[in-house]
Homo-oligomer: A and B are copies of this chain.
Amino acid sequence: MQCAETRLNKNSLLLALKRYSSVVNNMEQTILLPSLLRDVPCEDAADCEAAENSMDLYECYHLLKVIRNTVESGLVPHDDSKVIKNAALHKSLEALLEADQEAFFYFHLRGLFSVMGNLTKMSQELTGKYLEIIGIDQ
């Protein structure tokens, strides 16, 4: 396996991870006063988990940074606090997937690719919202 950088592509998981990292780095450099995001609700429930979980944009900002750190380190955390809360559903899925490692592989590969796209969009929207708050037109 060559260096990951050499075979990036539009549908590549590695590119999606790299793109996310870059967008969050840009968000971090742009948002000089993150505290301005405190108590600002997320407006678009469809696009942002913040509304669903009653998070404000400040919490959302930190969440995106924590995920960026995980992405950049490449390490899979041992912490179990992040697993799906619906244990029954989780169990059904595990049982189903364990019988078919191929389906399991494609399911998680696509899933990770898809979530990186959503998180990238969240970070871009959050950066846009901050610029709006401080009165900078994009």
Contacts and interface: CB of A to CB of B under 8 A. Distances in A.
Given A89-B92, A105-B67, A9 B74 contact: yes
A86 interface: yes
Interface in A77-128: 77-78, 82-86, 89, 92-93, 96-97, 99-113, 115-116, 118-119, 122
Interface residues of A, number: 59
Contacts of A108: 108, 111-112, 115
A74 B12 contact: yes
Of all A-B residue pairs in the complex, the 8 with the closest CB atoms, nearest first, are A4-B4, A108-B111, A82-B106, A108-B112, A52-B99, A76-B113, A12-B74, A3-B3
